[in-house]
Chains A and B, each alone.
Chain A
């Protein structure tokens, strides 16, 4: 299967610790997105990469959050000094840089901060 892959699927961490998630997009996709989803809500946009360039960031992305896509392939999302409010599902999506094409989502990483 060559879909979007996210690791780990689940992460439990203590408040104040740093965590890092990885997303491997579909291989030829040059657009990559990160979203966050809390219980009962739809996914919320966090940030967007076109190849290795981070071109858009939501105001939801506080300075404790950083995302990278160093070679325009996989991406990482790091959260420093985690807080209980960071508990959520973190979703990655990728698409081609072609207008009006669908984005494909991974299964997500569920973060629980205790």
Chain B
């Protein structure tokens, strides 16, 4: 079972920041938080991951709380192409390191 809880859906205005929350209260010390997104009819696309420090790349920023029980993915300037399902995943860093997906958050960016 997925170890994360996300809102089912969110809306965001084009050009504004999209802040997607995720709860992972049972995360273990060696487990990373990964974010993927899936645009309709495509395979999931990696966005970003982190352990305990905040991370930023060309796509997004990841803010992880100090107790690591929750995180927020930030898309700084959302565009219509960012409309997708966003998955927050706690990844077990042993064995296969498979990804265990939940249902994700459907983000709709509106013009």
Give residues in A with beta carbon < 8 Å to B: 4, 31, 33, 35, 40-45, 48, 50, 55-56, 91, 93, 95, 99-100, 102-108
Contact residue among B34, B87, B103 (Cβ-Cβ distance under 8 Å from A102): B34
Q: Is the CB of A42 within 8 A of B2?
A: yes
Interface residues on B, range: 20 to 34
Interface of B (DSSP majority class)? loop
Q: Is the CB of B43 within 8 A of A4?
A: yes
With A42-B102, A45-B100 already in contact, the answer to whether A99 and B42 are too (CB < 8 A) is no
Smallest CB gap from B94: residue in A = A99
Q: Is the CB of A105 within 8 A of B45?
A: yes
Contact residue among B49, B93, B98 (Cβ-Cβ distance under 8 Å from A45): B98
Q: Is the CB of B95 within 8 A of A56?
A: yes
Q: Is the CB of A91 within 8 A of B44?
A: yes
Smallest CB gap from A55: residue in B = B96
Give the residues in chain B near A95, CB-CB below 8 Å.
Answer: 97
Give residues in B with beta carbon < 8 Å to A: 2, 32, 34, 42-46, 49, 85, 87, 93, 95-104
Smallest CB gap from A48: residue in B = B96
Inter-chain contact count A-B, CB under 8 Å? 57
Complex Cα spacing A108 to B40, Å: 12
Minimum C-beta distance from B60 to chain A (A): 13
Q: Is the CB of B46 within 8 A of A100?
A: no
With A42-B104, A44-B101 already in contact, the answer to whether A104 and B95 are too (CB < 8 A) is no
Contact residue among A31, A42, A56, A100 (Cβ-Cβ distance under 8 Å from B32): A100
With A4-B43, A91-B43, A105-B44 already in contact, the answer to whether A100 and B98 are too (CB < 8 A) is no
Contact residue among B43, B49, B98, B101 (Cβ-Cβ distance under 8 Å from A42): B101
Smallest CB gap from A33: residue in B = B98
Complex Cα spacing A31 to B99, Å: 13
Complex Cα spacing A13 to B85, Å: 28
Complex Cα spacing A31 to B2, Å: 22
Q: Is the CB of B43 within 8 A of A45?
A: no
